[in-house]
């Protein structure tokens, strides 16, 4: 994984309002069919991780586990789960992981 590129893409996606954060917002995006990729921090708890693994498997969405602290460095937010909407940002993030 190219961490610098992943940080840059995630930061741009946030500025372009193509990302949502938090368990509930990400779950709603997945269930609506508009989610392209789900990003999860390494430190995410086992229950949350299992919940999103099942949701993503059911919806056919890529779930990426990011190194500890990468999401916070890129976005400035302390959330452990983020989802990117379908489109160029999700495709580029998938390519760099």
Q: How confident is the model at residue 77 (pLDDT cuts 50, 70, 90)?
A: confident
State how many domains the chain has: 1
How would you class 6 by CB atoms within 10 Å of its CB: exposed for 0-12, middle for 13-18, buried for 19 or more?
Answer: buried
What CATH number should be reported for the domain holding residue 8?
A: 3.30.1330.30
* pLDDT tens per residue across span 41-70: 999 999 999 999 999 999 999 999 999 888
Domain with 34 in it: 3-96
* pLDDT tens per residue across span 8-25: 888 899 999 999 999 999
Strand partners, 65: 40
């Amino acid at each position: 994984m190219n961490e610098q590129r992943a940080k840059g893409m995630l930061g741009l996606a946030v500025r372009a309002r193509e990302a949502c954060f938090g368990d509930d917002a990400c779950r709603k995006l997945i269930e609506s069919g508009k989610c392209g990729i789900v990003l999860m921090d390494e430190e995410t708890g086992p229950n949350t991780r299992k919940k999103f693994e099942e949701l993503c498997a059911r919806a056919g969405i890529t779930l990426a586990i990011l190194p500890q602290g990468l999401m916070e460095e890129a976005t400035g937010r302390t959330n452990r789960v983020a989802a990117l909407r379908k489109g160029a940002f999700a495709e580029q993030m998938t390519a760099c992981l």
